Amino acid sequence: MKRNRTSLVIVLVVALLATVIAGPSAWADTPTDTSALRDAVTVGGVEEHMAALEAIAIAYKDDGYRASGSPGYNVSADYVAERLADAGYQVTVQEFDFPFFEELSDPILEQLSPNPTVYPPYDDAGFATMEYSGSGDVTALVQAVDVIIPPAAAANTSTSGCEASDFADFIAGRIALVQRGTCTFALKAQNAEAAGAVGVIIFNEGQPGRTDAFIGTLGGPVVTIPAVGAAYAVGEELYNLSQAGEVTVRMMVDAVSETRTTSNVIGDTPGGRDDRVVLVGAHLDSVAEAPGTNDNGSGVATLLEIAEEMSELGIQPRNQVRFAFWGAEESGLVGSEYYVSQLSKRGIKDIALNLNFDMLASENYALFVYDGDGSDTPDAGPNGSANIEDIFVDYFASQDLPTYPTALDGRSDYDSFAAVGIPVGGLFTGADGVKTEEQAAIYGGTAGEQYDRNYHTPNDTLANADLEALDLMSDGVAHTVLTFAMTTSAVPGTSKGSTQAMKTPEFKGPRAQW
């Protein structure tokens, strides 16, 4: 009898271990039935919010559409706050300052003498305005500052303009010609302005892969003089001519670069455990050049529809759900970064996970899920991110919908949460990547073209949004939000989110800093 009892215990222990090892399904309690919420969340309801945001954008087109710091953004924030409050959420508007930049017209860079030449703007062989460049139209002699022509064998070798002493012989009133290299563009531009330069041309360093014109950033409004990034060939030409005699150049940048105030809009459910918060986010701002109906009116509208329908259905979440609408995402993820920076250690631990939804209606879409475990892409999220991924993947599989992994590469608002160890996940229908033949066979659309051919353009409108993709994605969002809102378990392996990230993804935005 003792032998039999021992054998039974062993069998039970083995069965228990097998259950624990089995994977994501083992952590959850009884699966949540999300069908009522998914039925209530309609594509028509999401579309209504997208149309409202687009109407705001069109009304403020001449003021930069819905970019943070613009009137259109402020009206968008008011719209979101009012809808959340009407649905019974506790609304907080969190203001913060951020560096604002908007280029108002194409820049000019031309050599007036000795060889009149017009350099093409936003062309690999020409030049581009530095983000946060000062504004001005200047004509002056060019003076090179500590450049290396021909370039050194190794990249990031030139220290041109990195030290104030580089400008010891600089003549005030001239345009400084400096070379890309070991320090930030901001430092080069600041040193040039301090030496009396009326403009600064930062040309590429010249090694393979570092020859074209580039779109750089100064990181903020740190100078008042025009600043551009030019191709190596442009800099080489101006340098060689300046060694033989005087070179006169005209440069013009027409832009606004200043510090502005904007806001995040936060809506909390009145109930639920506030030490296990399900934080669901989407960025509210557009770029200044576009109405932003897909990027990211689609994410904002989806979350608003879910928030309103949860309230309408009388859902009482076990865990508090926090709907967050971020400002200044297009300026470098500033709003979400500010939000995280204001959290205490306790506040970080109280956030169980962050779900991020940035573009859910791309015209040439595919269904992407953030690769939480890094099994298919280079970057894994913090502990627990893999289980968020599994919830999404399992849901779409239950609907016979294939999904593809997309990298947690730091290009959206989850980044700051991942950096402090909070599990992250989300959905995405594609931006400037290119659709594959396999994806076109599954979802339709056109292989070899961008997922969103209207990305960051004036054509990012409701007329160009794919409502089928939006319908599929909004159901996936609703399912996952409610699943985590109702679970009695913590996201496994995290103890409600550690304060140490497994890996901090590097923000890979479109503008280089050095």
Torsion angle of alpha carbons 408, 411, 412, 417, nearest 10°?
Answer: 60
Q: Do 246 and 288 sit in the same domain of this protein?
A: no
Residue at 509 is within a domain: no
Q: What is the mean pLDDT of residues 78-87?
A: 98
Torsion angle of alpha carbons 75, 77, 82, 85, nearest 10°?
Answer: -170
Could you tell me which of 343, 327, 415 has the C-alpha nearest to residue 98? 327
Q: Do 236 and 328 sit in the same domain of this protein?
A: no
Residue at 392 is within a domain: yes
d(CA 282, CA 410): 14
What's 298's DSSP letter? H
Q: Do 204 and 225 sit in the same domain of this protein?
A: yes
What's 114's DSSP letter? S
pLDDT at 492: 52
Pairing status of strand 319-326 against strand 127-129 = unpaired
CATH number for the domain harbouring residue 205: 3.50.30.30
Q: What Cα–Cα distance (Å) separates residue 235 from each residue in 11, 121, 226, 392?
A: 75, 14, 16, 50
Residue at 510 is within a domain: no
Q: Do 227 and 273 sit in the same domain of this protein?
A: no
- Is 493's pLDDT higher than 90? no
Pairing status of strand 319-326 against strand 368-370 = unpaired
- Residue 395 belongs to domain spanning: 27-101+259-486
- Say whether 138 sits in a helix, a strand or coil: strand
Task: Quote the number of domains for the chain.
Answer: 2
- Tokens 């203001």 belong to 95
d(CA 193, CA 198): 7
Burial label for 169, CB within 10 Å (0-12, 13-18, 19+), is: exposed
pLDDT at 512: 66
- The token duo for 451 is 């997922």
Q: Which residues carry out catalysis?
A: 329
Strand-pairing partners, residue 101, are 257
List, for residues 200-211, the tens digit of each pLDDT value: 999 999 999 999
- Top pLDDT among 3 and 87 is at 87
Residue at 56 is within a domain: yes
Q: Do 221 and 274 sit in the same domain of this protein?
A: no
Long-range contacts (CB closer than 8 Å, 24 or more residues apart) made by 186-189: 186/218, 186/219, 186/220, 186/222, 186/223, 186/513, 187/161, 187/162, 188/160, 188/161, 188/162, 189/130, 189/218, 189/222, 189/223, 189/225, 189/227
- Give percent above pLDDT 70 in the chain: 90
Do residues 395 and 476 touch, judged by C-beta distance below 8 A? Answer: yes
CATH number for the domain harbouring residue 367: 3.40.630.10
Residue at 218 is within a domain: yes
Could you tell me which of 428, 486, 431 has the C-alpha nearest to residue 454? 431
Q: Do 356 and 417 sit in the same domain of this protein?
A: yes
pLDDT at 219: 87
Q: Give the pTM.
A: 0.82
- Is 8's pLDDT higher than 60? no
List, for residues 100-127, the tens digit of each pLDDT value: 998 999 999 999 999 999 999 999 999 9
